[in-house]
Amino acid sequence: MTLVSGWGRFPVVDSELLRPRSFEAVGEAVAGCAGAVARGNGRAYGDAAIGASRTVAMTGFDRVRSFDPATGRIRLEAGVLLSDLIDTFGPRGFLPFVVPGTRFVSIGGAIAADVHGKNHHCEGGFGRYVESVLLRTGQGEVIEASREQNSDAFFATIGGMGLTGVILEATIRLRPVETGWIRERVISASDLDAAMRALDAGDSATYSVAWIDCAAGGSNLGRALIYLGEHASADELADGADRFPVGKDPGLAVPVDLPSMTLNRYSIRAFNELYYRMGARRAGRSHLVSLYPYFFPLDSISAWNRIYGRRGFLQHQCVIPEQGARDVLGEILDRVSKRGDASFLAVLKKLGQGDGILSFPLPGYTLALDFPLKGDILNFLDEIDRLVVAAGGRLYLAKDARQSRATFETGYPALKRFSAIRRSLDPAGNIRSKLSQRLFDEV
């Protein structure tokens, strides 16, 4: 047995970790055990990629099967990382349509969590660009599922947290790009109203996201920097500039777990003040940035999860429907600011409709906050959840480690349909994760 945990390092669970080398071996790993789930690169924060009794590591399956430069259509094994895809096909003029905040996720994980990027409001999530998946179901069949073929299995797999079976391969569409540069424009917003107005005004921008200073309170509550972005064309680059910048491996690493006192209300407030002022100074003008810092600002520091100390941290990411979002977000931010221990990573952005049956996004605003795991944080987050549920919102499963069954069930009304499809693919219940046990498997 091996101790396994997600990126947030909570919970830590004893699970049998297998590394199959063939699709047959994947099948053997899943069959006849009390609950297995596939695991990509382990970037889900909580317990989504930890099997109830067995965890099936998929990163060894990292082959590209075929690529058609005429259409941008690519077939690949589920363990290929987005970073590998970007580094290999970026210089050839193709990028994924959707990337989350880290490039170190696997294709299988990106599909299972239907990850969203800074373009969800206009271009949808990762699942929208998936044409088909090769799925090894709990029942033991290997099926190809698409919008036309086995469509129930397909839409349950997009955002299905790996619970419909093991994703072995997928065919996805890539976006043709001229360069690996983003034309970025920063807008500073002095409070939450201004921040939400700026995000609304950025609806027509391909990419938009707001960094919120969650240490600020009072009249500064919700002050933010909004980052809008567009793909830069080749003629926007300076002469002699590389069309495609190189993605460096994370250089700066957090070598040890920092003592939990490193992050406190004073250090966070000071950091945020500085960060806000520096950003506000750049506001207005647009400039070119490499896609790497634009999309993946945290990837430049490897093992940044160690900042939160050995006990780990919790991320709380909710989405609130557009109607009435302002008041709920204001209330959440007010409570967070009074508490003072949320991290410098508060992100607000707009989402559109999700594609999968269990996909997280719905039209509205999503707020992501990190909290070190200590004190009464679990109770505090339960209170925040009540606000979210009352507003008709829900929490992102890829980041969750602690929400209650009630919160989940209210937030995801399509669960019944999802469960019916899951049962038909896996009547014996071979596929189970710690997350599914916690939130919806029958006990």
Partner 1 sequence: MTSRKTVLVLGGSSDIGRATARAFAKAGYDVQFAGRDVAVLEPDAADLRARYNVECSIFKFDVLDTASFDGLVGGLPALPDVVISIVGLLGAQENAQSDLAHATTIMRSNYEGPSLILGLFAEKFLARGNGTLVGVSSVAGDRGRASNYVYGSAKAGFSAFLSGLRARASSSGVHVVTVKPGFVRTKMTEGMKLIGPLTVEAPVVGDAILQAVERKTDVVYVSGKWRLVMLIIKTLPEAIFKKLKF
Q: Counting contacts by CB under 8 A, is residue 88 touching partner 1?
A: yes
Of 26, 48, 74, 212, the one binding partner 1 by CB under 8 A: 74
CA distance 195 to 373: 28
Nearest to 159 by CA among 124, 208, 207, 122: 124
Q: By CB under 8 A, is residue 302 in contact with partner 1?
A: no
Binding-site residue total for partner 1 (CB under 8 A)?
11
Q: 2, 34, 63, 277: which one contacts partner 1 (CB under 8 A)?
A: 63
Nearest distance from residue 133's CB to partner 1, in Å? 18
Query: Measured between alpha carbons, how far is 240 from 242 in angstroms, rounded to an integer?
Result: 6
Q: How many CB atoms lie within 10 A of CB 24?
A: 11
Binding status of residue 248 toward partner 1 by CB under 8 A: no
Contact 129, 97 (CB under 8 A): yes
219 touches partner 1 (CB under 8 A): no
Tell whether residue 21 is a contact of partner 1 (CB under 8 A): yes
Query: How many other C-beta atoms lie within 10 A of the C-beta of residue 373?
Result: 20
Stretch that binds partner 1, among 66-74, 134-142, 325-333, 397-405 (CB under 8 A): 66-74
CB of 290 to partner 1, least distance (A): 20
Distance of CA 122 to the CA centre of its chain: 17
Shorter beta-carbon distance to partner 1: residue 57 or 397:
57
Cβ nearer to partner 1, comparing 58 with 74: 74
Q: Which residue has the tokens 């006192």?
A: 261
Which of 56, 49, 13 has the alpha carbon at shortest distance from 33? 56
Are 433 and 49 contacting, i.e. CB atoms less than 8 angstroms apart? yes
Nearer to partner 1, 75 or 335 (CB): 75
CA distances from 215 to 15, 265, 274, 385, 440 (A): 38, 8, 12, 20, 35
Length of the chain: 443
Q: Is 23 among the residues that bind partner 1 (CB under 8 A)?
A: no
Q: Whose Cβ is closer to partner 1: residue 15's or residue 337's?
A: 15
Closest contact distance (angstroms) between CB of 74 and partner 1 is 8
- For the record, the structure tokens of 296 come out as 């993946």
Contact 188, 225 (CB under 8 A): yes
Segment contacting partner 1 by CB under 8 A, of 5-13, 88-96, 98-106, 373-381: 88-96
Residue 255 binds to partner 1 (criterion: CB under 8 A): no
Q: Interacting stretch for partner 1, rule CB under 8 A, among 61-69, 275-283, 285-293, 428-436?
A: 61-69
8 Å CB contact between 332 and 320:
no
User: Exactly one of 12, 17, 31, 64 binds partner 1 (CB under 8 A); which one?
Assistant: 64
Residue 134 is a binding residue for partner 1 (CB under 8 A)? no
Residue 19 lies near partner 1 (rule: CB under 8 A): yes
| Torsion angles phi and psi, residue 54, rounded to 5 | -140, 140
Residues within the interface to partner 1 (CB under 8 A): 19, 21, 63-67, 74, 88-89, 92
